[in-house]
Structure 1
Amino acid sequence: MSKKIGFVGLGAMGFPMAVNLKKAGFEVIGYDAFKGVYEKANHAGITMVETLKEVGELADEAIISMVRDYEQNVDIIFREDGLLSAHPKDKTIIVMSTLDPDSMNELGKKVEEESELKMISASVSGGVSGAQAGTLSIMTSGYEAIVESFKGYFDAIGSHTFYYGNKPGNSEAAKLINNMILGININAVAEGLKLANEYDLPEEEILNLLQVSTGDSWVARNWDDISEWTADTSLGVLITDLKASYNEGLKHNVTLPFNALSSSQLFDSMGKDKPKD
């Protein structure tokens, strides 16, 4: 009999992740506040339920949360008809939402003190395309033994899994560091292509050069996709992470001048409209 895993939050990232868990042989018990996703999810073989209590009851050992932020995680767990209304024992919530490190640590403490659930953090990188392809990079932290025991789940949705220690917030710090470097690299490639344009050098040939030379990066290899990012999509998410990583630097008295410059120049470098206030 296949294991039943709960999954809360079947949005742009969560839905393909849940589908890949199903393809890997797990029975996925899904819930989303937006009922418009239910028909599509049921068609993909995901067992959609109407209440969070049912998720808590039916999941064998793990429930993935892919909701938006700290407040939504607190809501799905602790509200009157939330996951805890099922009185789950010996189960773990895998928080895959993007939070700042302190908020993730606070959430972990709250779960430990006010429930019988365990909690681990598992941030992801790779975007919607990575979620669809099952090639996400997964950054985990929390109980190491639990992380290791859930390897099958992580292998179903990602191609690389990393472990960063016992504090739940450590995985979020790792993700911020990754995205900080991503933002700096995007600025570098965008500025290089601007200069190339002044010399009438074909953009495609410059990108081909970068991909086989010392200027290579994930950004150079995926520029066709990245160049389509906007403030309403991945570029908007990235600028939020750049600002968050800068704030983490301030908290820990670590100067991050390239990150600060990257944040201020990102939209100009990309030739994109800035987010509306």
Structure 2
Amino acid sequence: MTASIGFIGLGAMGLGMATNLVRGGHRVYGYDPDPGRRGLATAAGITVVDSPAEAARHASETVFSVVRDAAQTRAVLLGDAGVASVAVPRTVVVCSTLDPTTMRGLADALDPHGVTAVDATMSGAPWGAEAGTLTLMVAAPADVFGRLRPLLDLMGSNIFHVGERVGTAQATKLAVQLTFGINMMGVFEAIRLVDSHDVSEDQLMAMLSVSVGRSWVAENWPRVKPWWERYVAGEDLDILLKDLRSALREADAEILPLPMTALSFQLMRHVWPAWSALREQDAS
């Protein structure tokens, strides 16, 4: 059944997700403040609107929020021109990676406005968003999950209903991210070990991929390596650091020891960038 869907955030992840909803036969009303993203959205068949509230107003029931962080999420949902300003019941699916405490706080703040909050965190990077092959982790009551499932299937190939309590999907996504970050630092140290023995990175990755060292990082090294070689503030590496910071903040609140996450976070911030700069200097 065709639905009208509000979609807030048409960036690297959101545009691909919204485009797949259009391809699935739905009318998508999208908002993004960036003129460039708005142009790309129009070309993809998305009807661009001027505010989150307008996206929600056009939606028959469901609004997706795919913005960068907690501050942006709060602004598009609870700000003056946010979803909550529209005086009709809505279900908001928050796909941004936040943390369980923040997500539950947002849900509590939205509830008096008739807005039901669902967290549906995602993994799979922009190419997965474009291809419709994301992994989506969803926390929602069973009936809400069942209603959302046809939409989620257009955006992801692996859909997990991780629980009914809001915030559970955020915890699950942080678990994925901390595993990714720790794994990344393991690959980094493996490179350091063989670097002085003239074993190439490509050869090492090939060996890791067919041994007990196998991992997504090793198998997708050409995609991961540029994060470090051409660091751009606010992009992939900073997003991962943001998520590790959220995991550590949540662990601190729950008095939960995550020593490997803490160490990987510090190494990722300081050691690898310095090492990469040294290698560039040596190469020149």
Q: Same fold (TM over 0.5)?
A: yes
Contact 2:10 2:38 in 1 (8 A): no
Structure 2 partner of 1:124: 122
Structure 2 partner of 1:190: 188
Q: Give the CA deviation at 1:152.
A: 1.4
Q: Give the CA deviation at 1:134.
A: 1.6
Which segment is superposed worse, 184-193 or 242-251? 242-251
The alignment's C-alpha RMSD in Å is 1.9
Runs of 4+ in 1 over 6 A off after TM superposition: none
Deviation string, structure 1 residues 114-170 (Cα, Å, up to 9, x no partner): 211221111111222221222211111132321222111111111111122222211
CA spacing shift, 1:65–1:213, aligned 2, 3 Å: same
Structure 1 partner of 2:86: 86
Question: Scaled by the length of structure 1, what TM-score is found?
Answer: 0.90
3-state SS in 2 of match to 1:228: helix
CA spacing shift, 1:243–1:85, aligned 2, 3 Å: closer
Q: Give the CA deviation at 1:263.
A: 1.3
Contact 1:10 1:31 in 2 (8 A): yes
Structure 2 partner of 1:47: 47
Contact 2:98 2:243 in 1 (8 A): no
| Structural mapping, 1:57-72, within 5 Å | 57-72=57-72
Contact 1:70 1:107 in 2 (8 A): no
Count of aligned pairs between the two proteins: 271
CA distance in 2, matches of 1:104, 1:198: 46
In the alignment, structure 1 residue 147 sits paired with structure 2 residue 142: no
Contact 1:63 1:93 in 2 (8 A): yes
Which segment is superposed worse, 26-35 or 71-80? 71-80
Contact 1:182 1:219 in 2 (8 A): yes
Structure 1 partner of 2:3: 3
| Structural mapping, 1:240-259, within 5 Å | 240-259=242-261
Contact 2:15 2:41 in 1 (8 A): yes
Structure 2 partner of 1:97: 96
Amino acid at match of 2:237: L
Identity of matched residues, %: 34
CA spacing shift, 1:180–1:53, aligned 2, 3 Å: closer
Amino acid at match of 1:15: L
Structure 2 partner of 1:207: 205
Question: Scaled by the length of structure 2, what TM-score is found?
Answer: 0.88
Structure 2 partner of 1:221: 219
- Structure 2: runs of 5 or more not aligned: 278-284
Q: Give the CA deviation at 1:272.
A: 4.4
CA distance in 2, matches of 1:231, 1:175: 23
- Structure 1: runs of 5 or more not aligned: none
Amino acid at match of 1:252: E
Structure 1 partner of 2:76: 76
CA distance in 1, matches of 2:109, 2:4: 25
Structure 2 partner of 1:236: 238
Amino acid at match of 1:124: M
